[in-house]
Structure 1
């Protein structure tokens, strides 16, 4: 069963989302609906994990595990497995995450839940090497394209993006570009403005890696204009790509201010601090 609290998700602001979920917790406890309560707890754990609060997230999931009856509440069980895996993965323990995603996939398939099967497949792609990841993502794409479930079909935008990045990591920039364009088309068709913005950025990055810096610069400049015109929050990744395009076009002095702006924003990103030290150092150096 799908509950209304899922509509409260704001993945860009997990702390706010956690607070919104916590406000529902007393109601969930009083509802005499264990399935609602358990599913809500799994999403509280996810919000905690996205805040890098991994111990808290595992503790919340431990509470779910104590109360969980898989036969009675299979969706809660699937979500428990998915979120346990996500917390392990986000904390840098992909090998420990993988079995949970495999179990989530198995249970989703056994219970005919296409939506969470697609979720499990896409998470398996995230925790495996590019060649294997591609196969998991393609399975998820096939499922999303063939499913009669409208929620499952909504995975298409994310899957086009994820498969594009898998090809990107394999240095197959032509295929990556093709998938990013599909992602852009899908998100524009469904009026997903934030996702379309990201897809345009991805298209631009893939163009730059194909040594088409002029075309890439046009795309990133358009995104910068959109940020300014719509009073959007500044995006460090756009600044980074603007800088890289200008550097590739032998315009280092113009690039410098964008490298500096990118560093100013991206150096505050917790994940980048832990996983992309060299990248941040390069931004700082080229921006100074």
Structure 2
């Protein structure tokens, strides 16, 4: 029998990525503590099953859940331990997806600690590693984080992400368009370009309606209404905020906008 050639071997760098739908099912961003418990259990189960790639990916999500609980030191320790899952394998033998996810989560921890200049190199590294892994999803995650943290280059990173979405078909990947357009809208709004911002916010609504969650749809519409207020189109803004209040009466951001839009308006008794 002929010895296997390099063509016969599976490239560890380009292993099939862990199913994002599985990761999504384990996440509850409103309950980071429970999410951490689920990811810890998933990582342990993957380790017991002898699937280090999945174990490492679940471990990165455990770190993210810890970070959301403001347990940054523990989260960093968890990320530092990912390499050990591969029994001392060299850098190039660790799947690129794992390297990308580790870099993204390190960057998120630094950004949450108000250290964007240190976070940006992690996110740029993540873009390269995700591209090597062939994961458009992770490239977009890293680009959207760069657009949030790389001051002065927000529009460039957002535009790169939006360009990358062209021709994509996967609904979960296309969902990144919501964050990219939404965040770009706020950059333009806060830069005094409310008209251009409205275009971005409305595009975020379109994508949210097709691919997003109900929470993303609510936030996207709220931003449209807020931008309309800046543009002086207060009647339209109020109509939209009242519609949002009908869907979620306890949304404090909606209530604050309604108060701002109705302050000083004449009442029946006036």
2:246 to 215, 225, 233: 225
Deviation at 1:164, TM superposition (A): 1.3
Alignment match, 1:17: 35
Describe the superposition over 1:167-194 as per-residue Cα deviations: whole angstroms up to 9, x where unpaired: 1221211111111111112222336322
* Aligned residue-pair number: 245
Q: Could you tell me how far apart the structure 2 residues matched to 1:48 and 1:32 are?
A: 24
In structure 1, the partner of 2:149 is 127
Task: Give the match for residue 161 of structure 1.
Answer: 182
> For the residues of structure 2 that align with 1:176 and 1:65, how far apart are their CA atoms?
42
Residue ranges of structure 1 left out of the alignment (5+ in a row): 229-233, 254-288
2:261 to 245, 249, 252: 245
CA contact (8 A) 2:107 2:120 kept: yes
Q: Work out which of the two has the higher radius of gyration on C-alpha atoms and give 1 or 2.
A: 2
Given the alignment of the two structures, is residue 179 of structure 1 paired with residue 197 of structure 2, yes or no? no
Counting only pairs closer than 5 Å after superposition, residues 203-222 of structure 1 correspond to structure 2 as 203-222=224-243
Residue 66 of structure 2 is matched in structure 1 by: 48
Structure 1 Cα separation of the partners of residues 210 and 171 of structure 2: 15
Distance change (3 Å), C-alpha of 1:153 and 1:191: closer
CA offsets 1:254-283 (integer angstroms, 9 cap, x no match): xxxxxxxxxxxxxxxxxxxxxxxxxxxxxx
Unaligned runs of at least 5 residues, structure 2: 1-16
Which has the larger share of helix?
Answer: 1
Answer whether contact 1:114 1:149 (CA < 8 A) is retained.
no
Q: Does 1:96 align with 2:118?
A: yes
**Equivalent of residue 81 in structure 1, options 81, 90, 103:** 103
**C-alpha separation between the residues in 2 aligned to 1:187 and 1:42?**
27
Which residue number in structure 2 is paired with residue 188 of structure 1? 209
TM-score normalised by structure 1 residue count: 0.78
Maintained 8 Å contact 1:144/1:154: no
Contact 1:114 1:147 in 2 (8 A): no
State the 1:88 CA deviation: 0.6
What is the CA-CA distance between 1:24 and the residue it aligns to? Answer: 2.1
CA distance in 1, matches of 2:155, 2:123: 16
Quick one: distance in 2 between partners of 1:210 and 1:172? 10
Q: Post-superposition shift, 1:6?
A: 3.6
Q: 1:51 to 1:251 in 2, by over 3 A?
A: farther
Tell me what 2:78 maps to. Answer: 60
The farther-off stretch of 27-36 and 152-161 is 152-161
Higher RCO (CA 8 Å, separation ≥ 6 residues): 2
